[in-house]
Amino acid sequence: MIAVVKNTATEEQLSHFVKWIEDRGYKTNVSPGDEETIVGIIGDTSKIDPFLLESMDIIERVQRVTEPFKKANRKFHPEDTVVDCGHGVLIGGGHFQVMAGPCSVEGDNLFTIARACKEAGATILRGGAYKPRTSPYTSQGMGERGLDLLKEASAELDMPVVTEVMDPRDVQLFVDKQIDIMQIGARNAQNFPLLREAGKTGIPVLLKRGMSETIDEFLMAAEYIMSEGNQNVILCERGIRTFETRTRNTFDVNAIPVLHHLTHLPVVGDPSHSTGYTRYVRPAAYAATAAGADGLEIEVHNCPSQAWSDGAQALTPEMFSDAMRRIALIREAVTADIQEA
Q: Are strands 161-164 and 124-126 parallel, antiparallel or unpaired?
A: parallel
- Give DSSP secondary structure letters for 133-165: -SSTTS----THHHHHHHHHHHHHHT--EEEE-
Beta bridge partners of 41: 28
Band of pLDDT at residue 106, cut at 50, 70 and 90: very high
Q: Which fold has domain 2-63?
A: Alpha-Beta Plaits (3.30.70)
Q: 251 with 271: CB under 8 angstroms?
A: yes
- Give DSSP secondary structure letters for 200-266: TT---EEEEPPTT--HHHHHHHHHHHHHTT---EEEEE--B--S--SSSSB--TTHHHHHHHHBSS-
- Give DSSP secondary structure letters for 20-68: HHHTTT-EEEEEE-SS-EEEEEES-GGGS-HHHHHTSTTEEEEE---SS
Band of pLDDT at residue 179, cut at 50, 70 and 90: very high
Q: Which fold has domain 83-335?
A: TIM Barrel (3.20.20)
Sign of CA dihedral 139, 140, 145, 150: positive
At 337 the pLDDT is 80
The torsion of the CA quartet 217, 223, 224, 229, rounded to 10 degrees, works out to: 170
- The answer, yes or no, to whether residue 34 has pLDDT greater than 90, is no
The domains of the chain are located at 2-63, 83-335
- The answer, yes or no, to whether residue 70 has pLDDT greater than 70, is yes
- The answer, yes or no, to whether residue 341 has pLDDT greater than 60, is no
CA nearest 205: which of 22, 81, 27, 337? 81
The CA distance from 237 to 266, in Å, is: 11
Q: Give the SS3 label for residue 82.
A: coil
Average pLDDT, integer, range 40-50: 85
Mean pLDDT taken over the chain: 94
Q: Are strands 27-32 and 205-208 parallel, antiparallel or unpaired?
A: unpaired
Residue 243 or residue 65, greater confidence: 243
Q: How many Cα neighbours within 13 Å face the side chain of 298?
A: 36
pLDDT tens-digit series, residues 206-216: 999 999 999 99
Band of pLDDT at residue 140, cut at 50, 70 and 90: confident
Q: Tell me how crowded residue 6 is: count the other CB atoms within 10 A of its CB.
A: 15
Distances (CA, A) of 291 to 237, 311, 327: 12, 27, 12
Average pLDDT, integer, range 270-287: 97
At 340 the pLDDT is 64
The overall pTM is greater than 0.85 = yes
Average pLDDT, integer, range 297-308: 95
Band of pLDDT at residue 195, cut at 50, 70 and 90: very high
Report phi then psi at 230, rounded to 5. Answer: -95, 110
User: Do 83-335 and 2-63 have the same topology in CATH?
Assistant: no
Q: Are strands 181-184 and 205-208 parallel, antiparallel or unpaired?
A: parallel
Percentage of the chain modeled with pLDDT above 70: 99
- The answer, yes or no, to whether residue 2 has pLDDT greater than 70, is yes
pLDDT tens-digit series, residues 241-266: 999 999 999 999 999 999 999 999 99
- The answer, yes or no, to whether residue 338 has pLDDT greater than 80, is no
At 339 the pLDDT is 67
Q: Give the SS3 label for residue 104.
A: strand
The CA distance from 336 to 252, in Å, is: 25
The CA distance from 333 to 310, in Å, is: 32
Q: 209 with 189: CB under 8 angstroms?
A: yes
CA nearest 227: which of 198, 258, 268, 261? 198
Average pLDDT, integer, range 133-156: 90
Q: 235 with 268: CB under 8 angstroms?
A: yes
Q: 207 with 267: CB under 8 angstroms?
A: no
Average pLDDT, integer, range 144-171: 97
At 7 the pLDDT is 85
Q: How many Cα neighbours within 13 Å face the side chain of 306?
A: 8
Band of pLDDT at residue 50, cut at 50, 70 and 90: confident
